[in-house]
Amino acid sequence: MQSNWQQSIFSTRATRDITLAVAVTFLVSMALVLFDVNERFIAAASRHEQWQVDELPLVLLVAYAALTWFSVRRWNESRQEVAARLEAEQKIAQLLAENQRLLRHSLEVQEEEKRSLARELHDELGQYLHAARTESVALRLGSSDKFIGERAKSIEHALTHIQLVARDIISKLRPPALDELGLSAALEQLVLRQCETSVDIQCSFNIAREVDAVGGPVAINAYRIAQECLTNIVRHAHASKVNFMARLAQNCLILEISDNGRGHPVPIVAGFGIAGIRERVDSLDGKLTMHSEPEYGVFVGVSLPLNKTVLKQEVI
Ligand SMILES: Nc1ncnc2c1ncn2[C@@H]1O[C@H](COP(=O)(O)OP(=O)(O)OP(=O)(O)O)[C@@H](O)[C@H]1O
Ligand SMILES: [Mg+2]
Protein backbone atom coordinates (compact mmCIF):
# COMPACT_ATOMS: atom_id res chain seq x y z
CA MET A 1 0.00 0.00 0.00
CA GLN A 2 1.29 3.45 -0.83
CA SER A 3 1.66 5.88 2.01
CA ASN A 4 0.13 9.34 1.96
CA TRP A 5 3.61 10.74 1.71
CA GLN A 6 4.37 8.78 -1.45
CA GLN A 7 1.00 9.67 -3.00
CA SER A 8 1.37 13.34 -2.22
CA ILE A 9 4.94 13.51 -3.60
CA PHE A 10 3.86 11.88 -6.83
CA SER A 11 0.65 13.84 -7.18
CA THR A 12 2.15 17.27 -6.43
CA ARG A 13 5.10 16.81 -8.80
CA ALA A 14 2.97 15.18 -11.50
CA THR A 15 0.35 17.94 -11.29
CA ARG A 16 3.02 20.60 -11.54
CA ASP A 17 4.68 18.94 -14.55
CA ILE A 18 1.48 18.31 -16.48
CA THR A 19 0.36 21.91 -15.91
CA LEU A 20 3.70 23.09 -17.28
CA ALA A 21 3.41 20.77 -20.30
CA VAL A 22 -0.12 21.99 -21.12
CA ALA A 23 0.91 25.63 -20.74
CA VAL A 24 3.96 25.21 -23.01
CA THR A 25 1.87 23.34 -25.65
CA PHE A 26 -0.73 26.10 -25.61
CA LEU A 27 1.83 28.89 -25.94
CA VAL A 28 3.73 27.12 -28.72
CA SER A 29 0.52 26.38 -30.69
CA MET A 30 -0.47 30.06 -30.38
CA ALA A 31 2.91 31.01 -31.80
CA LEU A 32 2.53 28.46 -34.65
CA VAL A 33 -0.90 29.88 -35.57
CA LEU A 34 0.35 33.45 -35.31
CA PHE A 35 3.32 32.94 -37.61
CA ASP A 36 1.77 30.35 -40.00
CA VAL A 37 4.70 28.09 -39.24
CA ASN A 38 3.24 24.94 -40.83
CA GLU A 39 2.51 26.67 -44.17
CA ARG A 40 6.03 28.06 -44.20
CA PHE A 41 7.40 24.61 -43.38
CA ILE A 42 5.44 22.92 -46.22
CA ALA A 43 6.63 25.53 -48.68
CA ALA A 44 10.25 25.05 -47.55
CA ALA A 45 9.92 21.25 -47.57
CA SER A 46 8.60 21.19 -51.15
CA ARG A 47 11.58 23.25 -52.20
CA HIS A 48 13.90 20.59 -50.70
CA GLU A 49 11.98 17.48 -51.80
CA GLN A 50 15.26 15.71 -52.64
CA TRP A 51 16.12 15.63 -48.87
CA GLN A 52 12.71 14.14 -47.86
CA VAL A 53 12.27 16.97 -45.36
CA ASP A 54 8.46 16.68 -45.74
CA GLU A 55 8.62 13.33 -43.92
CA LEU A 56 10.08 15.00 -40.85
CA PRO A 57 6.74 15.63 -38.96
CA LEU A 58 5.84 11.92 -39.07
CA VAL A 59 9.34 10.87 -37.96
CA LEU A 60 9.09 13.33 -35.06
CA LEU A 61 5.67 11.94 -34.16
CA VAL A 62 7.08 8.40 -33.96
CA ALA A 63 10.04 9.64 -31.86
CA TYR A 64 7.57 11.44 -29.57
CA ALA A 65 5.51 8.24 -29.11
CA ALA A 66 8.70 6.25 -28.37
CA LEU A 67 9.82 8.80 -25.77
CA THR A 68 6.38 8.75 -24.14
CA TRP A 69 6.54 4.96 -23.89
CA PHE A 70 10.08 5.25 -22.43
CA SER A 71 9.03 7.80 -19.77
CA VAL A 72 5.94 5.86 -18.74
CA ARG A 73 8.10 2.78 -18.11
CA ARG A 74 10.69 4.78 -16.11
CA TRP A 75 7.85 6.42 -14.16
CA ASN A 76 6.44 3.03 -13.21
CA GLU A 77 9.88 1.74 -12.28
CA SER A 78 10.54 4.72 -10.02
CA ARG A 79 7.16 4.28 -8.32
CA GLN A 80 8.01 0.64 -7.61
CA GLU A 81 11.45 1.63 -6.29
CA VAL A 82 9.98 4.23 -3.96
CA ALA A 83 7.38 1.72 -2.74
CA ALA A 84 10.12 -0.89 -2.09
CA ARG A 85 12.26 1.67 -0.26
CA LEU A 86 9.35 2.73 1.92
CA GLU A 87 8.61 -0.88 2.74
CA ALA A 88 12.27 -1.44 3.69
CA GLU A 89 12.24 1.71 5.84
CA GLN A 90 9.12 0.51 7.62
CA LYS A 91 10.76 -2.86 8.25
CA ILE A 92 13.88 -1.17 9.63
CA ALA A 93 11.77 0.99 11.95
CA GLN A 94 9.91 -2.11 13.13
CA LEU A 95 13.17 -3.99 13.75
CA LEU A 96 14.61 -1.01 15.62
CA ALA A 97 11.54 -0.81 17.84
CA GLU A 98 11.73 -4.55 18.48
CA ASN A 99 15.43 -4.26 19.23
CA GLN A 100 14.77 -1.44 21.66
CA ARG A 101 12.09 -3.50 23.40
CA LEU A 102 14.43 -6.49 23.72
CA LEU A 103 17.21 -4.28 25.02
CA ARG A 104 14.89 -2.77 27.63
CA HIS A 105 13.72 -6.21 28.64
CA SER A 106 17.25 -7.63 28.91
CA LEU A 107 18.34 -4.65 31.05
CA GLU A 108 15.32 -5.15 33.29
CA VAL A 109 16.09 -8.87 33.63
CA GLN A 110 19.71 -8.00 34.40
CA GLU A 111 18.65 -5.58 37.13
CA GLU A 112 16.19 -8.08 38.55
CA GLU A 113 18.92 -10.74 38.69
CA LYS A 114 21.24 -8.32 40.45
CA ARG A 115 18.49 -7.46 42.89
CA SER A 116 17.77 -11.11 43.71
CA LEU A 117 21.50 -11.89 43.98
CA ALA A 118 21.85 -8.99 46.42
CA ARG A 119 18.89 -10.32 48.42
CA GLU A 120 20.36 -13.85 48.52
CA LEU A 121 23.76 -12.55 49.54
CA HIS A 122 22.23 -10.40 52.23
CA ASP A 123 19.86 -13.02 53.64
CA GLU A 124 21.97 -16.18 53.32
CA LEU A 125 25.61 -15.14 53.41
CA GLY A 126 25.03 -12.29 55.85
CA GLN A 127 23.20 -14.54 58.29
CA TYR A 128 25.88 -17.27 58.26
CA LEU A 129 28.71 -14.77 58.51
CA HIS A 130 27.06 -13.25 61.53
CA ALA A 131 26.54 -16.69 63.09
CA ALA A 132 30.18 -17.69 62.44
CA ARG A 133 31.41 -14.45 63.96
CA THR A 134 29.26 -14.94 67.09
CA GLU A 135 30.60 -18.50 67.43
CA SER A 136 34.19 -17.36 67.10
CA VAL A 137 33.66 -14.61 69.73
CA ALA A 138 32.11 -17.22 72.05
CA LEU A 139 35.07 -19.53 71.39
CA ARG A 140 37.56 -16.77 72.19
CA LEU A 141 35.79 -15.73 75.37
CA GLY A 142 35.07 -19.30 76.52
CA SER A 143 38.56 -20.71 76.05
CA SER A 144 41.46 -20.18 78.39
CA ASP A 145 43.85 -21.60 75.79
CA LYS A 146 45.96 -18.72 74.38
CA PHE A 147 46.47 -20.43 71.01
CA ILE A 148 42.71 -20.97 70.50
CA GLY A 149 42.00 -17.37 71.60
CA GLU A 150 44.43 -15.94 69.03
CA ARG A 151 43.12 -18.17 66.21
CA ALA A 152 39.54 -17.19 67.09
CA LYS A 153 40.50 -13.52 66.96
CA SER A 154 42.06 -13.85 63.51
CA ILE A 155 38.92 -15.70 62.33
CA GLU A 156 36.88 -12.74 63.64
CA HIS A 157 39.08 -10.30 61.67
CA ALA A 158 38.70 -12.37 58.51
CA LEU A 159 34.93 -12.60 58.99
CA THR A 160 34.64 -8.85 59.57
CA HIS A 161 36.56 -8.28 56.36
CA ILE A 162 34.29 -10.68 54.43
CA GLN A 163 31.24 -8.91 55.88
CA LEU A 164 32.51 -5.53 54.64
CA VAL A 165 33.29 -6.92 51.19
CA ALA A 166 29.87 -8.60 51.00
CA ARG A 167 28.16 -5.35 52.03
CA ASP A 168 30.05 -3.48 49.31
CA ILE A 169 29.13 -6.10 46.68
CA ILE A 170 25.49 -6.01 47.78
CA SER A 171 25.30 -2.24 47.55
CA LYS A 172 26.89 -2.33 44.07
CA LEU A 173 24.43 -4.99 42.94
CA ARG A 174 21.46 -3.04 44.18
CA PRO A 175 22.10 0.35 45.79
CA PRO A 176 19.93 0.20 48.94
CA ALA A 177 19.58 3.99 49.00
CA LEU A 178 17.68 3.85 45.71
CA ASP A 179 14.85 1.83 47.24
CA GLU A 180 14.98 3.29 50.72
CA LEU A 181 15.76 6.98 50.20
CA GLY A 182 15.06 7.72 46.53
CA LEU A 183 17.09 8.69 43.49
CA SER A 184 18.46 12.01 44.76
CA ALA A 185 19.97 10.47 47.92
CA ALA A 186 21.29 7.48 45.97
CA LEU A 187 23.00 9.76 43.44
CA GLU A 188 24.38 11.95 46.21
CA GLN A 189 25.85 8.91 48.01
CA LEU A 190 27.32 7.69 44.75
CA VAL A 191 29.06 11.00 44.01
CA LEU A 192 30.36 11.27 47.57
CA ARG A 193 31.61 7.68 47.59
CA GLN A 194 33.38 8.02 44.24
CA CYS A 195 34.99 11.26 45.31
CA GLU A 196 36.12 9.76 48.60
CA THR A 197 38.00 7.06 46.72
CA SER A 198 40.13 9.67 44.94
CA VAL A 199 41.19 12.47 47.23
CA ASP A 200 42.66 14.62 44.42
CA ILE A 201 39.24 15.18 42.86
CA GLN A 202 37.08 18.03 44.07
CA CYS A 203 33.41 17.22 43.51
CA SER A 204 30.56 19.64 43.25
CA PHE A 205 27.03 18.48 42.72
CA ASN A 206 23.57 19.87 42.30
CA ILE A 207 20.89 17.23 42.62
CA ALA A 208 17.32 18.51 42.68
CA ARG A 209 15.05 16.84 45.24
CA GLU A 210 12.34 16.60 42.60
CA VAL A 211 14.21 13.71 40.94
CA ASP A 212 12.92 11.53 43.81
CA ALA A 213 9.68 11.36 41.86
CA VAL A 214 11.46 9.16 39.32
CA GLY A 215 11.30 5.43 39.92
CA GLY A 216 11.23 2.21 37.89
CA PRO A 217 13.67 1.51 35.07
CA VAL A 218 14.54 5.18 34.55
CA ALA A 219 15.82 5.55 38.13
CA ILE A 220 18.01 2.45 38.09
CA ASN A 221 19.33 3.18 34.59
CA ALA A 222 20.13 6.78 35.53
CA TYR A 223 21.96 5.47 38.58
CA ARG A 224 23.98 2.99 36.50
CA ILE A 225 24.85 5.65 33.91
CA ALA A 226 26.04 8.02 36.64
CA GLN A 227 28.03 5.16 38.21
CA GLU A 228 29.82 4.40 34.93
CA CYS A 229 30.57 8.07 34.19
CA LEU A 230 32.03 8.65 37.65
CA THR A 231 34.04 5.42 37.51
CA ASN A 232 35.45 6.49 34.15
CA ILE A 233 36.45 9.87 35.59
CA VAL A 234 38.26 8.23 38.50
CA ARG A 235 39.93 5.67 36.22
CA HIS A 236 40.79 7.63 33.10
CA ALA A 237 40.31 11.39 33.38
CA HIS A 238 43.17 12.56 35.64
CA ALA A 239 40.78 15.34 36.61
CA SER A 240 40.90 17.67 39.59
CA LYS A 241 37.26 18.76 39.36
CA VAL A 242 33.97 16.99 38.70
CA ASN A 243 30.56 18.58 38.28
CA PHE A 244 27.44 16.50 38.68
CA MET A 245 23.94 17.74 38.04
CA ALA A 246 20.55 16.00 38.09
CA ARG A 247 17.18 17.67 37.56
CA LEU A 248 13.83 17.36 35.83
CA ALA A 249 13.02 19.44 32.78
CA GLN A 250 10.34 19.17 30.09
CA ASN A 251 9.17 15.83 31.42
CA CYS A 252 12.66 14.36 31.26
CA LEU A 253 15.27 13.40 33.80
CA ILE A 254 18.47 15.27 32.95
CA LEU A 255 21.92 14.18 34.08
CA GLU A 256 25.04 16.22 33.33
CA ILE A 257 28.45 15.00 34.38
CA SER A 258 31.62 16.84 33.45
CA ASP A 259 35.27 16.78 34.42
CA ASN A 260 38.29 18.94 33.70
CA GLY A 261 40.61 16.04 32.89
CA ARG A 262 42.58 15.12 29.80
CA GLY A 263 39.58 14.17 27.62
CA HIS A 264 39.08 11.05 25.54
CA PRO A 265 42.20 9.70 23.87
CA VAL A 266 42.25 9.90 20.06
CA PRO A 267 41.40 7.40 18.76
CA ILE A 268 39.25 6.28 21.66
CA VAL A 269 39.63 2.65 22.72
CA ALA A 270 36.06 1.51 23.16
CA GLY A 271 35.20 -0.43 26.29
CA PHE A 272 31.91 -1.77 27.55
CA GLY A 273 31.16 1.23 29.75
CA ILE A 274 30.26 3.83 27.11
CA ALA A 275 28.52 1.16 25.00
CA GLY A 276 26.47 0.25 28.09
CA ILE A 277 25.51 3.90 28.66
CA ARG A 278 24.40 4.15 25.03
CA GLU A 279 22.33 0.96 25.32
CA ARG A 280 20.61 2.14 28.48
CA VAL A 281 19.80 5.53 26.95
CA ASP A 282 18.49 3.91 23.74
CA SER A 283 16.40 1.39 25.63
CA LEU A 284 14.55 4.29 27.29
CA ASP A 285 14.27 6.34 24.12
CA GLY A 286 16.53 8.98 25.63
CA LYS A 287 19.25 11.26 24.27
CA LEU A 288 22.96 11.09 24.95
CA THR A 289 25.39 13.95 24.35
CA MET A 290 29.09 13.41 24.78
CA HIS A 291 31.76 16.07 24.17
CA SER A 292 35.43 15.68 24.72
CA GLU A 293 38.16 18.28 24.35
CA PRO A 294 41.78 17.28 24.78
CA GLU A 295 42.97 18.79 28.08
CA TYR A 296 39.51 20.27 28.77
CA GLY A 297 37.78 17.12 29.93
CA VAL A 298 34.64 15.26 29.06
CA PHE A 299 30.99 16.30 29.24
CA VAL A 300 28.26 13.67 29.33
CA GLY A 301 24.65 14.81 29.10
CA VAL A 302 21.75 12.40 29.32
CA SER A 303 18.07 13.10 28.93
CA LEU A 304 15.62 10.31 29.78
CA PRO A 305 11.95 10.84 29.01
CA LEU A 306 9.51 10.20 31.82
CA ASN A 307 6.06 8.79 31.59
CA LYS A 308 3.46 7.97 34.21
CA THR A 309 4.80 4.44 34.77
CA VAL A 310 8.14 5.70 36.03
CA LEU A 311 6.83 8.55 38.15
CA LYS A 312 6.26 7.65 41.78
CA GLN A 313 4.22 10.77 42.34
CA GLU A 314 2.89 13.59 40.24
CA VAL A 315 5.68 15.97 39.27
CA ILE A 316 4.66 19.59 39.54
N1 LIG B 1 36.00 10.98 31.68
C2 LIG B 1 36.92 10.45 30.86
N3 LIG B 1 38.09 11.10 30.65
C4 LIG B 1 39.04 10.60 29.82
N5 LIG B 1 38.89 9.47 29.10
C6 LIG B 1 37.74 8.79 29.26
C7 LIG B 1 36.70 9.23 30.14
N8 LIG B 1 35.69 8.36 30.06
C9 LIG B 1 36.07 7.41 29.20
N10 LIG B 1 37.30 7.66 28.72
C11 LIG B 1 38.03 6.89 27.70
O12 LIG B 1 37.08 6.15 26.97
C13 LIG B 1 37.47 4.78 26.94
C14 LIG B 1 36.23 3.93 26.89
O15 LIG B 1 35.51 4.02 28.11
P16 LIG B 1 34.60 2.81 28.56
O17 LIG B 1 33.94 3.17 29.82
O18 LIG B 1 33.74 2.45 27.39
O19 LIG B 1 35.62 1.61 28.76
P20 LIG B 1 36.64 1.37 29.95
O21 LIG B 1 36.33 2.30 31.09
O22 LIG B 1 38.02 1.44 29.39
O23 LIG B 1 36.35 -0.13 30.37
P24 LIG B 1 34.99 -0.71 31.01
O25 LIG B 1 34.44 -1.62 29.96
O26 LIG B 1 35.43 -1.41 32.25
O27 LIG B 1 34.08 0.44 31.32
C28 LIG B 1 38.32 4.59 28.16
O29 LIG B 1 39.22 3.55 27.99
C30 LIG B 1 39.01 5.92 28.29
O31 LIG B 1 40.18 5.95 27.50
MG1 LIG C 1 34.33 2.47 31.84
The finding on whether 57 has its CB within 6 A of some atom of ligand 1 is: no
Give the model confidence (pLDDT) of 171-180 as tens digits. Answer: 889 888 888 8
The residue whose C-alpha atom lies closest to atom 20 belonging to ligand 1 is: 271
The finding on whether 294 has its CB within 6 A of some atom of ligand 1 is: no
Q: Which atom of ligand 1 is nearest to the CA of 300?
A: 1
The residue whose C-alpha atom lies closest to atom 23 belonging to ligand 1 is: 271
The finding on whether 224 has its CB within 6 A of some atom of ligand 1 is: no
69-100 burial string, b = 16+ CB within 10 Å, else e? eeeeeeeeeeeeebeeeeeeeeeeeeeeeeee
Q: What is the mean pLDDT of residues 61-79?
A: 95
Q: Which atom of ligand 1 is nearest to the CA of 237?
A: 3
The finding on whether 295 has its CB within 6 A of some atom of ligand 1 is: no
Give the model confidence (pLDDT) of 77-109 as tens digits. Answer: 999 999 999 999 999 999 999 998 999 899 999
Q: Which of 264, 290, 293 to mutate to test the pocket of ligand 1 (most atoms within 8 A of CB)?
A: 264
In terms of Cα–Cα distance, which of 249, 248, 264, 256 is closest to 298? Answer: 264
Q: Which atom of ligand 1 is nearest to the CA of 274?
A: 18
- Give the pLDDT of residue 126: 86
Q: Which long-range contacts (CB under 8 A, 24 or more apart) does 303-310 make?
A: 303/252, 303/253, 303/254, 304/218, 304/221, 304/222, 304/252, 304/253, 304/255, 305/251, 305/252, 306/214, 306/218, 306/248, 306/251, 306/252, 306/253, 309/216, 310/214, 310/215, 310/216, 310/217, 310/218, 310/219
Q: What is the mean pLDDT of residues 106-120?
A: 91
Task: Kindly report the average pLDDT of the chain as a whole number.
Answer: 89
- Give the pLDDT of residue 152: 92
Q: Which atom of ligand 1 is nearest to the CA of 233?
A: 1
Per domain, the residue ranges of the chain are 4-102, 107-173, 178-310
Q: From ligand 1's centre to the CA of 270, what distance in Å?
A: 7
The finding on whether 236 has its CB within 6 A of some atom of ligand 1 is: yes
Q: Would you say 276 and 288 are in contact if contact means Cβ atoms under 8 Å apart?
A: no
Secondary structure of residue 248 in the 3-state scheme: strand
The residue whose C-alpha atom lies closest to atom 22 belonging to ligand 1 is: 271
The residue whose C-alpha atom lies closest to atom 9 belonging to ligand 1 is: 232
* Class (C level, CATH) for 178-310: alpha beta
List the single range of 9-18, 44-53, 62-71 with lowest mean pLDDT: 9-18
The pLDDT-based confidence of 316 (bands split at 50, 70, 90) is: very low
Give the model confidence (pLDDT) of 204-243 as tens digits. Answer: 999 999 999 998 899 999 999 999 999 999 999 999 999 9
Q: What percent of the chain has pLDDT over 70?
A: 94
